Amino acid sequence: MAGGTLESASLFYQSTNRREMCYWISHIKLSRIIVIMLLILFVVSLFAHYYLSKVETNASGMDMHRTRLEAFDDFTSMKASDLKFRIEEMLRIKVSVSNELRDLEAKRQRLQLEVSGFNQKIDDLKQELIHQQTDLDRLKMSLVQAQAAHREAIERNTPELAPPRRILINSLPTNLKFTSSESSSCRMFNCFDHSRCALTSGFPIYLYDPDIFSVINPTWDIDGFLKTTIKQTLGYNAHLTSNPAEACIYILLIGEALPSNSQGPSHQVFPHPLHVKKLHSLPYWGGDGRNHILLNLSRRDLSINSSNMLDNSDTGRAIIVQSTFLRNQYRPGFDIIVPPILGPPGGDVWQECASMVPARRKYLLSFQGEIKTTKSLSSSGSTSRPIDDAEIDLERVEDENNLDKFIVQHLNDMTTGVTMDKFFIQFECIPATDDSVRGKLLDWTLCGTESSRKEILKDSTFVLILAPSNSSFVTTSSIQARIYEALRSGAIPVILGGDQIYLSYNEVIAWRRAVLFLPKARVTEMHFLLRAIPDSDLLFMRRQGRLIWERYMATAQGAADTIVASIRDRLGIPAVPAIQSPSPSVFNETFVPIKSDAIVAEPEAEESLGPLEPPYPSPVFKRNYTIMLIHGHEIWNEWVNPFYLYPQLPFDTVLSSDAKFVGSEVGFRPIGKGAGGAGKEFSESLGGNYPREQFTIVILTYEREQVLINSLARLYGLPYLNKVLVVWNSPKPPIEDLRWPDIGVPIVVIKALRNSLNNRFLPFDTIETEAVLSVDDDAHLRHDEIMFGFRVWREHRDRVVGFPGRYHAWDQNFHNSWNYNSNYSCELSMVLTGAAFIHKHYMYLYTNWLPQAIRDKVDEYMNCEDIAMNFLVSHLTRKPPVKVTSRWTFRCPGCPVSLSEDDTHFQERHKCINFFAQVFGYMPLLNTQYRADSILFKTRISHDKQKCFKFI
């Protein structure tokens, strides 16, 4: 077809040349005629001049001259008419030729347009061939991946796990005989019935209603606050059951027991608070009280005797939970030490905490207390069981008193010595008349009011806590109360005599990360030790202490949940699965969204980025029964809380490199099947240290339908994409004729309950992958950028990995506060979640663990949710985010003006950063100067090799 076109063009040009030659020949002939005529006219004029000049002298020849002139005129008239005819004929020819030339030019232009169209079709076909070849390569890769998955499914030797399926017992405890002498030797292996607590039971617990089942003598009452609070908090516990036949353990609230209003004189000795017969007659006691938990909680600074009323009582095989224990009473690994319930029932408690900075405060060490002597033993008027002097080894007590006197003297000398350090030491309290204070047994009582002690503790780097002078006690409620107040105020506890006591939940909490334990004999070396601790360790211990306080001690809800979790952990039973957020569709059941066939192809589509696979969810609950064994320490002391079982964690263990080749695990996709390789082999497999996986994109949108549709259409053909979640924040549903693009993966449009930026981080149950790409609806990311970010995230799963970097700057010139900054900088501390990968685990924590005050501030400003997520991740990991590529901003041509372009947007972000730092008690964000770029970036390689990413 192209040859025929060229031949027509040649004939066209030959015809044009012939016509032009004819035109020029005619033009030359006409010019010659005009020249001849001019010569004739010139000659005629000469003759006329000659004859006219002779008229006067030769009159006789006038007639002859006139005759000749007339004859000439006739001749010239005849030639001019002929010339005019010829000129008109030439003009007609010229017009005809011009018209024909115009027609030929128009035809030539049409032919040129056809040629251009054909050339464009050729280019389009070539491009389509490239796309088809790319799709074919992807299909080949997908086929290889499918074959590998099929082979792995056949060879799989590990089961696919799911949330634990509950296997429950359905019978009440039977009566067994038991002698009280066996109680002191009780341990979990001989006093606990494990048959009621199957590994898959879910650990059901039954609570005796404290309003119905009371085992206290009539002259005593259970503290009303504790009765109501424990009933309410355990009612919220996910393990609670109302069916006693299926229960694993039975919880009974014993106290705090208080004298009733009908008591007699203050010096009267009342009977023992515990009514043993009522205890043994409980409907599910089973004769020996196995699997029973007796909660003897305290809320006040009560006498040791009152807070230890279960001493020398027949409690059978029941586990005792209280704050005060004698050494011969406490059964390690069986009984549980808990702090007093000093906080509110629940809620945010961040306002109770002092700031964690600066590291060193006004006082290096503080102490407020007074020791009670042995004389106070006999003066105790309202104790439940007065301890006689005969019960105490007086010689040992005297030695211990002498040691305490030496400690007091040394501390006084330390405060008056030559040192730059300041101390606040108070050994004398205002005399107290309250029986609850006078009833102390060789223990240190608190001085001052709670508010006054709190102010001193906020100014103290360390706070001294002295173990009881009576070493018969392994712990007392007074020590637990001191620990509570110290951690709340950010003062690091220094327990002198720490080698003789136990602290709360000592089986699971690593107290040495937050508290200094010193033998009393090291009191002379204490000052040296405190001065030798660097600021970094001070802040670490203070932060760890706040974590323990907030999680396990600050509220009654936390205390109740911790008691249940510690027993469940002891039995090795998994927690209940974490609650996910439902994903209601924005469409009703009958409406079917209109699909659009329009596809927006990426300009870099010729670069193969990976195989197109069917949706593949990340395996869940693979570590149901091993997570508490391997990472129990981290779960209790680092990773937020042990109260729920999460489907995956960003901290899961990594297999060794040879595991992917010798069959220890399946699902790996090593590059080049283990031989490595450059771009081609790289694009065919994920590689890395983790098995294959996909990611989910979450887009938050509000009344920008067309912008959203364009963003969705650009996701067509994106490898490793599991699904797209669109969180519809607008109260108005999408328009019915909106055409949704078919991008090859499901698009789930979720109806938000309300317009909130916090919806971006809800742990929706439709998210089936660990990796979540949080994207704004107007962010335009290329496919290669997304794939590169995904690959980087797989190596930094516990961090925020994304594109736009920001940092927090200190404003020391004006406000001495933090500012939010978006300028280009060599450091960054945040990656905006408008285009960032995060682990789904952080969505659980953002929704259920992050202080409510932060989420409320996000709703107030309709801003800062990305800053809050960066705070959360940096606080938990103590690592900065990871930025990928050089992107710093996003441009969205044609998009409506966004909120971020308003000046108030930045002012609100300044306020957010300072408020969040106040809630956390310190600035958790960390600076980094690191940016991730792809391997072989700007590396010269041979022509037969391909870089990992062509355009990054």
Catalytic sites, residue numbers: 866
**Are β-strands 835-839 and 801-802 bridged in parallel, bridged antiparallel, or unpaired?**
antiparallel
- Backbone angles phi and psi of 208, in degrees to 5: -65, 125
**Are β-strands 257-259 and 220-222 bridged in parallel, bridged antiparallel, or unpaired?**
antiparallel
Residue 810 CB: number of other CB atoms within 10 A?
11
Q: Name the amino acid, one letter, at 276.
A: V
How many whole angstroms from its chain centre is CA 812?
Answer: 30
Who contacts 804 (Cβ-Cβ below 8 Å, separation ≥6)? 831, 832, 834, 835, 887, 888, 889, 890
Instruction: Output b/e per residue, 9-36; b: 16+ Cβ within 10 A.
Output: eeeeeeeeeeeeeeeeebeeeeeeeeee
Helix (H/G/I), strand (E/B), else coil: 715: coil
- Backbone angles phi and psi of 596, in degrees to 5: -115, 140
| HEC assignment per residue over 298-356 | CCCCCCHHHHCCCCCCCCCCCEEEECCEECCCCCCCCCEECCCCCCCCCCCCHHHCCCC
Between CA 40 and CA 83 the distance in angstroms is 13
Task: Evaluate whether 559 touches 225 at the Cβ level (below 8 Å).
Answer: no
> Can you read off the two tokens belonging to residue 323?
């704050």
Task: Evaluate whether 833 touches 802 at the Cβ level (below 8 Å).
Answer: yes
CA atoms lying within 13 Å on the CB side of residue 258: 15
DSSP string, 150-170: HHHHHH--SPPP-SPPP----
> Can you read off the two tokens belonging to residue 835?
């285009």
Strand boundaries in 655-738, DSSP class E: 695-701, 721-728
Task: Evaluate whether 188 touches 303 at the Cβ level (below 8 Å).
Answer: no
Task: Evaluate whether 187 touches 698 at the Cβ level (below 8 Å).
Answer: no
Helix (H/G/I), strand (E/B), else coil: 256: coil
The single residue listed with the structure tokens 């105490």 is: 392
Task: Evaluate whether 307 touches 280 at the Cβ level (below 8 Å).
Answer: no
> Residue 134's closest CA among 807, 604, 494?
604
The single residue listed with the structure tokens 């004298």 is: 259
| Whole-Å CA distances, 319 to 126, 219, 258, 316, 905 | 79, 25, 22, 9, 56
Residue 418 CB: number of other CB atoms within 10 A?
4
Task: Evaluate whether 378 touches 436 at the Cβ level (below 8 Å).
Answer: no
The single residue listed with the structure tokens 């930094």 is: 796
Alpha-helical segments (H) within 655-727: 659-662, 679-684, 705-713
Helix (H/G/I), strand (E/B), else coil: 418: coil
**Are β-strands 325-326 and 336-337 bridged in parallel, bridged antiparallel, or unpaired?**
unpaired
- The vertex-819 CA angle with 818 and 820, nearest 5°, equals 130
- The vertex-223 CA angle with 217 and 227, nearest 5°, equals 100
> Residue 284's closest CA among 152, 172, 380?
172
> Can you read off the two tokens belonging to residue 62?
């006038």
> Residue 699's closest CA among 756, 773, 763?
773
Task: Evaluate whether 803 touches 785 at the Cβ level (below 8 Å).
Answer: yes
Between CA 128 and CA 283 the distance in angstroms is 79
